[in-house]
Amino acid sequence: MEALDNLLYGFSVALQFENLIYVFIGVFAGTIIGMLPGLGPISALALMIPITFGMNPASALILMAGVYYGAIFGGSTSSILLNAPGVAGTVATSFDGYPLAKKGLAGKALAIAAYSSFIGGTISIIGLMLIAPLLAGFAVSFGPAEYFALMVLGLTAVVSLSDKSLVKGLIAAVFGIMISIVGIDLQTGTLRYTFGSTKLYEGIEFLIVALGVFALAEVFVMILNKVKKEKQLSIGSLKLTKQEVKEIAPPIARSSILGFFTGVLPGAGATIASFLGYSMEKRLAKDGNTFGKGNIKGVAAPEAANNAAAGGSFVPLLTLGVPGSGTTAILLGALLVMGVSPGPLMFQDRPDVFWGVIASMYIGNIFLLVLNLPLIPIFAKILEIPRAMLLSLIVVFCIVGVYGLSFSTFDLWFLLLFGLVGFAMRAYGFPAAPMILALILGDIMEKSMRQALQISRGDWMIFMHKPISLTLLSLALLSITIPLIRVFIKSIKLLKQGKI
């Protein structure tokens, strides 16, 4: 009852005309920015901070929350239409979203992404409102050992998606971690694999690898598959049949809940949530072998999960003052600049900010759906551009996206290198997903492992002694060994039948 009263108070703040305009601007700008590779929510939010100077903190946070949601959806649009994820949390969407677009079903994929994002976002807002204090308490109990175990689980879950070859999936994952540790080791100051180059001191940016391995490699693949004069396929209908709605409803529900709880964990964020959601649905689905070939559940699950995680990441930010993701770290910075200190006292001291943000997230979510569904045919016009022109424009967008990060052509050469790596991976059956996730998690994994060992004074058994860590590591082991056991049992059966 109290939550409802608070929410109504929040709506009274969020529904002020000025704040409605801010939500609209935020969602619209966020969507456009999210579509551009290299300009994800973090860049967009960072650029918004000076704009919010002098604004009421509630209004400023409302604007920035809109940008956050919008950017995540915008990233999905470029993932689906161009196989060029604009945002890390939308990489998993491209696995089935892009194949759907190639089949002439881009409209359906985008519509599913919009509905899934809306539902995922709504569920997470309800969760945020109802159980934020409880969840914050649990999140605090996650120490370094638990985080390490969670990262391992996230990685192994994704590796086990590579049903073509587990070994190749593991190789891709290990390679991703190898890339992630290039640069200065922040704990000791030691240089690792920089080969004397100062430009590698800060390591290799995720975006360079993602754009190279996905977008640029896709350009090479399209050229190789001889699509010279082909006209682009139409987007198809945006409408979903009753059967399709029935099919995607359970994955959306499950992935939203999974995404929300994952987003609550500081550091986990939308990326892990989307991969875990995808992985979970692939396992549960009867037609799991069609994932990666244009299965609508493969779009619904990660989209619901990443938007739910976006909402979940606000839990530690607003209740503890601890950002749940890189993006919420920027929001924290913005709040501090405005003189608002998020944390347990925020409930009492600034209820207008806290509940205003929650209410505006409901509104922002609705705006996202209302705004983006009618615009899908316009977004999908991108597909009607002649393929020859689209290929060259994709390259330009990738170049601009990477240059905008560091203003250095050195990174552009790396982009090309990873484009070639991605192309080779596609040609020889190495999955890119484990590599990308490992790249994001590698650094955090090492840091968590070290912190855990420092706490335990070098005792490696800490990972077994902590129940949550032990559970997560056991699940990770199962996710790798179960496919191997299945293959082994199948081989024995075939041997007995004399087929080998």
Contact set with other proteins (CB under 8 A): 39, 47, 164-165, 167-168, 170-171, 174-175, 177-178, 181, 185, 187-188, 190, 192-193, 216, 219-220, 223-226, 228-229, 386-389, 391-393, 395-396, 399-400, 403-404, 407, 409, 412-413, 416, 419-420, 423, 428-429, 446, 449-450, 453-454, 456-458
> Could you count the other beta carbons within 10 Å of the beta carbon of residue 360?
30
H or E stretch including 76? helix 57-82
Find the Cα–Cα–Cα–Cα dihedral 375, 326, 206, 202, rounded to 10°.
140
Reference 66, options 87, 41, 91; nearest CA is 41
As measured in angstroms, the least distance from the Cβ of 171 to other proteins is 5
As measured in angstroms, the least distance from the Cβ of 227 to other proteins is 9
CA 202 to CA 192: how far, in whole Å?
10
- Phi and psi torsions of 192, nearest 5°: -130, 125
Q: Which residues pair with 192 in a beta bridge?
A: 183
Q: Could you tell me the two tokens for 157?
A: 């879950």
What are the percentages of helix, strand and coil residues in the chain, rounded to 5? 75, 0, 25
As measured in angstroms, the least distance from the Cβ of 156 to other proteins is 13
As measured in angstroms, the least distance from the Cβ of 309 to other proteins is 26
As measured in angstroms, the least distance from the Cβ of 161 to other proteins is 17
CB 89 within 8 A of CB 122: no
Distance from chain centroid for Cα 336: 26
CA distances (Å), origin 294, targets 182, 287, 291, 401, 432: 35, 11, 6, 27, 17
> Could you count the other beta carbons within 10 Å of the beta carbon of residue 4?
9
Q: Which is nearer to other proteins, 167 or 477 (CB)?
A: 167
Q: Which is nearer to other proteins, 4 or 461 (CB)?
A: 461
CA distances (Å), origin 155, targets 165, 229, 271, 435: 15, 40, 11, 9
Q: Which is nearer to other proteins, 137 or 386 (CB)?
A: 386
As measured in angstroms, the least distance from the Cβ of 17 to other proteins is 25
Q: Which is nearer to other proteins, 140 or 167 (CB)?
A: 167
Strands (E), 419-475: none
CA distances (Å), origin 241, targets 41, 100, 247, 254, 373: 33, 16, 10, 21, 16
Q: Which is nearer to other proteins, 135 or 207 (CB)?
A: 207
CA 219 to CA 6: how far, in whole Å?
51
Q: Which is nearer to other proteins, 197 or 409 (CB)?
A: 409
Distance from chain centroid for Cα 117: 12
As measured in angstroms, the least distance from the Cβ of 451 to other proteins is 10
Residue carrying structure tokens 């391992």: 152
CA 221 to CA 488: how far, in whole Å?
34
As measured in angstroms, the least distance from the Cβ of 389 to other proteins is 5
Q: Which is nearer to other proteins, 484 or 489 (CB)?
A: 484
As measured in angstroms, the least distance from the Cβ of 488 to other proteins is 14
Q: Could you tell me the two tokens for 468?
A: 């949550």
CA 65 to CA 496: how far, in whole Å?
60
Q: Which is nearer to other proteins, 228 or 246 (CB)?
A: 228
Q: Which is nearer to other proteins, 82 or 301 (CB)?
A: 82
Q: Which is nearer to other proteins, 175 or 347 (CB)?
A: 175
Q: Which is nearer to other proteins, 253 or 391 (CB)?
A: 391
- State the alpha helices, DSSP H only, in 103-143: 106-140
Q: Which is nearer to other proteins, 337 or 395 (CB)?
A: 395
As measured in angstroms, the least distance from the Cβ of 175 to other proteins is 8
As measured in angstroms, the least distance from the Cβ of 143 to other proteins is 15
Half-sphere exposure at residue 120, Cβ-oriented, CA atoms within 13 angstroms? 40
As measured in angstroms, the least distance from the Cβ of 409 to other proteins is 6
CA 221 to CA 39: how far, in whole Å?
25
Strands 191-192 and 183-184: antiparallel
